[in-house]
Amino acid sequence: LKKLIVGGFDGVYEFAKTFRNEGMDRTHNPEFTMMEIYVAYKDYNWMMDFTEKLLEFCAREVNGSSKTTFGEHEIDFKAPYTRVTMTESIRQFTGFDINGKSEDEIRTAAQGMGIEVDETMGKGKLIDEIFGEKCESNYIQPTFITDYPVEMSPLCKKHRDNPELTERFELMVNGKELANAYSELNDPIDQKERFENQIKLAEKGDEEAMFIDLDFIRALEYGLPPTGGCGIGIDRLVMLLTDSSSIRDVILFPHMRSE
């Protein structure tokens, strides 16, 4: 889709079946449905405004109200949504400030919080584990978590005010991620360095590290305009709007055991 923006399209979107082997539970299925959208000359601030308006519209179309009941919670999709930086969130729920901390300091802090970590995890993965274990479940109402550390976001543009952060958000609803979005990284030199850092993480044993996509780097060399991008998990959204407790209830043909 980003190559289409390079090719001159102002905006593209796609609904797609996606496969990602992250295991299976009530909110994860290896094959899931996602909407991706990219818009040229927009950034993550525009994408936050777009996302909250879109989800409020969906809620009203499905239920006649911005509010929906999911289990024991009433969730209100009415815009605007609260915006909290990743650093603020971790500080609020753990008392630990990740600013300026080394990989070893963050690993030690995570261990002190009782989080299972190991030597294969780089700085970004460690921060992600802390947030996932200690912060994520606290966000029941729609909340944008913004400004992720650069180590967590290999495809994301550096923050305009702080090069140690990126212009990224994830939307948390009912304690789970519903959307992930960036101001897209459009500097081919920076992108190649990020990919090379991912290879180093893979060599340490990080199974989720990315590979170097030389064809994509070549596309960036032709020129990707400043672009905002967002992916929304459609199955999780349908779960929330229909009070379905399992993702398998909203997938038409979930994988079944053979007879």
End-to-end CA distance of the chain: 39
Among 241, 182, 191, 184, smallest CA distance to 216 is for 191
pLDDT tens for residues 144-193? 999 998 888 888 999 999 998 999 999 999 999 999 999 999 999 999 99
This prediction's pTM: 0.89
CA 191 to chain centre: 18
Q: What amino acid is encoded at 232 in this protein?
A: I
pLDDT tens for residues 66-119? 999 999 999 999 999 999 999 999 999 999 999 989 999 999 999 999 999 988
Which residue shows structure tokens 């994408």?
47
How many CB atoms within 10 Å of residue 124? 23
Percent of the chain with pLDDT over 70: 98
Rounded Cα gap, residues 96 and 130, in angstroms: 10
Rounded Cα gap, residues 48 and 167, in angstroms: 11
Rounded Cα gap, residues 21 and 5, in angstroms: 28
